Structure 1
Amino acid sequence: MFYQLKIAENQDIERLTLFVEKAGISSEGIADLIDYFVLMENGENEIVACIGVEPVKNTGLLRSLVVSDKLKQAHIVTLFQSIQTLAEKRGITNLFLVTNKEASVQFLSLMGFQKLNSDLVPAEMLTIDHMKDSLEDPNAKVMIKSS
């Protein structure tokens, strides 16, 4: 199967929102951050994966990762590399993420992310609702990657 990556545009808002909501993830803020999302589409231009970054100054929070179960790990690696490139082009030097799955930590470590004690999360990151909500999970693990 052929897949392609693209930076989301205004005309993608509705279908991206539906894709994220179908996965049970909040779509709040997608319209405002649309050009901070990377989409992976199949040959029929259907979204099969997405990831976004919510910026605060030169820092950003990865969010709204949704991946079709048809994709291989290599596709997910490409998706992460693409969002990191987009973030760098937009002047973001520190990328944060929150996961509640221990299995994700090993994969993300291979992608260059390091675990961070949640007490060390910068105050500006705590202004992001998604970050605050995610940290309420007792299994939440914060990770960071600096460029």
Structure 2
Amino acid sequence: MFYQLKIAEEKDLGKLIGFVEKAGVSSEGFESLIDYFVMMENGEHEVVACIGVEPVGEYGLLRSLVVSDKLKQAHILTLFQSIQTLAEQKGIKHLFLITNKEASVQFLSLMGFEEINQSSIPNQLLTLEHMKGSLEQTNVMIMVKSS
């Protein structure tokens, strides 16, 4: 199967929101963040994966990672590399993420993310609704990668 990566545009907003909401993930704020999302489409132009970054100065919070179960780990790796490149292009030097999936920590560590304590999160990021909501979940791990 052929897959194509692209930076989301305003015309993609509807299908991107539909894709993440179908997976039970919040699409809050997508309208203002659309060009901070990388999406992967199949040959029929259907979204099969996406990830975004919510910026606050030189910090960014990775969010809304949704991946079709048809994709292989190599596709997910490419998706992560693409969002990191996009973040760097937009001046983001420190990428943060929150996960409650222990299984993803090893993969993220291989991608260069390091686990940190909640007290190490910059105050600017604590103002983001997505960050606040994510920190309320149980068994969360915070990770960061600096460029």
Q: Would you say same fold, with TM above 0.5?
A: yes
Give 1:20-59 correspondences, 5 Å limit: 20-59=20-59
Identity, % of aligned pairs? Answer: 71
Match of 1:61 in 2: 61
1:110 aligns with 2:104: no
Instruction: Output the TM-score relative to the length of structure 2.
Output: 0.99
Match of 1:15 in 2: 15
Which residue of structure 2 aligns with residue 128 of structure 1? 128
Measured after TM superposition, the shift of residue 138 of structure 1 is: 2.6
C-alpha separation between the residues in 1 aligned to 2:11 and 2:120? 38
The count of corresponding residues between Structure 1 and Structure 2 is: 147
SS in 1 for 2:124: helix
Gaps of 5+ in 2: none
Q: What is the deviation of 1:119? A: 1.1
Q: RMSD of the TM alignment (CA)?
A: 0.5
The residue number in structure 2 matching 1:119 is 119
Structure 1, unmatched stretches of 5+, are: none
Distance between the aligned counterparts of 2:128 and 2:120, measured in 1?
15
Q: TM-score normalised to the size of structure 1?
A: 0.99
SS at the partner of 1:123?
A: coil
